[in-house]
Structure 1
Amino acid sequence: MKKVRMSLKGIACALLAGMAFASCNKKDTPAPPQPKNAGIQLVHASPKTGELSIDVNGKKIQDKVQFLNQSKAYMAVDVQNDAALKFTLDGSKVVVDNKYKLADKGTYSLFLYDTLLNNKIRAVLLNDNLSDPGKGKTSLRFLHLSPNTPNVDIDVFKGSDSIRLVSNTPFIGEKPDVAVLSTFKPIASGDYRVKVKVKDGTVKTILDIPSVKLMEGKIVTLYLSGLAKGTGALGVGLQQWQHK
């Protein structure tokens, strides 16, 4: 019996030693790296620029993106390294080829704007804060993306109330202030009449939109599009891009 007890004791010790060894090995094995991704939306707001193909990190992800394209969901982009975004016109003319540093789990919108110059257009990457604007509120920001339209004032009307939404705001130009342009501000949700005005000797209303609906809890960019004296879709317009 003594020999049996000794054998059982030896077996127990061996099992404990094996478990300890396995535990040590498990601790020494590094966990696989977690993927790092950001979300990005792409907005074609460059007048007189045709359909674009989009490559992200060397892979084509979208084709035939039109001027004033409809909103798409945020697409996931790997951010282990800087994100390389390339936009091609007519299959060969590269109109934008930039790299952007994106934060893990960040959300962004890349607006393509201005008219073609030497086969190039401009792009601005904005940070999208998708936090809930609060009960009865919409988060709103404005971009002036009409290159030959003067500075604008925008007044919004709700019932008998009116608000000056933006004042004397210029085209964002060659070197836009990304921090300022990225900022959303809360506004009461609801239906608004919107007037866009310029000063050309006298104050002139260039757009009078009877109803713009801002829905509760939504995150929205309003942007001025098109060209002064343009016609149809190329004329000056006010677009609503909903991020959430």
Structure 2
Amino acid sequence: MDDLLTRRVKIGVQYIGTKYCGWQSQKNAVSVQELVEKALGGVLGHEVRLTASGRTDEGVHARRQVAHFDTDVEIKPFNLILGANVRLPDDIAVVDAEYTDNSFDARRDAKRKTYVYRMYVDSVRRPFLDVNHLQIYRQPDLSAMNKAAAALVGRHDFKCFCATGGNAKTFVREIFSCDVRQEGNIIEISVCGNAFLYNMVRIVAGTLLWVGRGKIKAEDLPQIIASKDRSRCGKTLPPHGLTLESVEY
């Protein structure tokens, strides 16, 4: 690749994560990253290495993951999108692309990420919803859930919301907003923050669900956060209900 002609490309990628080990490439499993890199490389005629805003875990979806790569091939962004998508499986697509400043970094420059955990209340399983919603059988108390969610907003040590196996150097994160809303039988837990710990949003969602079921009191959330004790939080909910909605710069 000619460094003098190299340009940086910013892309948005949408995917259903059910079949994949997550975003990040792994040796013994199929990842979203490796398939997108292979598709882009097929269009451009050279190896592509993507840097994303962050990783999503096995089974987690993305409405718009953001990544960047460098190329010295001149191509219209729309043609890049079309060429990549004919090489990708139906559950992964490049949804936008643009040339950007060569100093742009999809990971380091990310300011806000929004995740949404979705569930539906029904005694009967709904296959159309099961792809990206968790089925629950009883209506939880949304008022209590939102009261607990408000306690999460701000800059805190969120160690109690981190699963074992993470490699974070610090557990301090800032949550800009956290709310629970319902339309019909669909419940969405939306969390926006500067960054997240390993399984953090799924543990937050599990904890808020326990609040909604009366297993944890909403007023106890500040004390639980201060305790840094994972055992005082709710369960880690399954990955299929979680979607990375957006990344802001």
Q: Same fold (TM over 0.5)?
A: no
TM-score by length of 2: 0.33
TM-score by length of 1: 0.33
Larger RCO (CA under 8 A, 6+ residues apart): 2
Bigger Rg, which one: 1
More strand by share: 1
More helix by share: 2
